[in-house]
Amino acid sequence: MGSPYILLGSEPNADNQPLGSLPAAKGYAILRGMMAIGSDHAGFQLKNELKKYLDEHSIEYVDVGCPDEQSCDYPDIARAVAAGVSTGQYERGILICGSGIGMSIAANRFPKVRAALCVDENMARVSRQHNDSNILVLGSRFTPTNTACTILAAWMSTGFDGGRHLRRVLKIDGGEN
């Protein structure tokens, strides 16, 4: 695995050309800290495929579980990722369960967590551009591996647009009424 400071497509070099192997996107897309990834038993296989993708792109991560396909409780995994993102231990996270719904509900209970259940790359981009989502949630029963990798690439390479969206995100996080 590579450096915890990874350029992911939208930062220009001296010739104003995008860096990184992922597609360029508006805004910033630099991962400065560690990422966490976790799944329940239903998402275990997709999680392992996404880990291969992260490894291929030299993106550092911590796998918080589950360790196999034995039945486990998704709120425990969501808590491990979301608490870490909430406290700043992890910059971003990825959660996978059967539908993605349970993980989304559980993760969004934590302060400053903006978990987005995305079913295509457009949703992933908008979740970053407008909502500054910091946890990507996927439903393994509804998302083929190739689609999940496309969603992940879009989410990782897209930055937050700020502007009017910043005011709204601050309201979500309780920083502005």
Residues 129-144: tens digit of each pLDDT: 999 999 999 999 999 9
Average pLDDT of the chain, as a whole number: 85
- Tell me: pLDDT of 16 over 70: no
Residue 5's pLDDT band (cuts 50, 70, 90) = very low
Q: What is the pLDDT of residue 91?
A: 96
CATH topology of domain 35-172: Ribose 5-phosphate Isomerase B; Chain: A, (3.40.1400)
- Tell me: pLDDT of 63 over 80: yes
Strands 115-117 and 35-39 turn out to be unpaired
Which is more confident, 5 or 159? 159
- Tell me: pLDDT of 160 over 50: yes
Cβ atoms of residues 49 and 145 within 8 Å: yes
- Tell me: pLDDT of 122 over 90: yes
Provide the H-helix boundaries in 33-138.
44-56, 74-87, 101-107, 121-129
Positions annotated as catalytic residues are 97, 130
Domain segments of the chain as ranges: 35-172
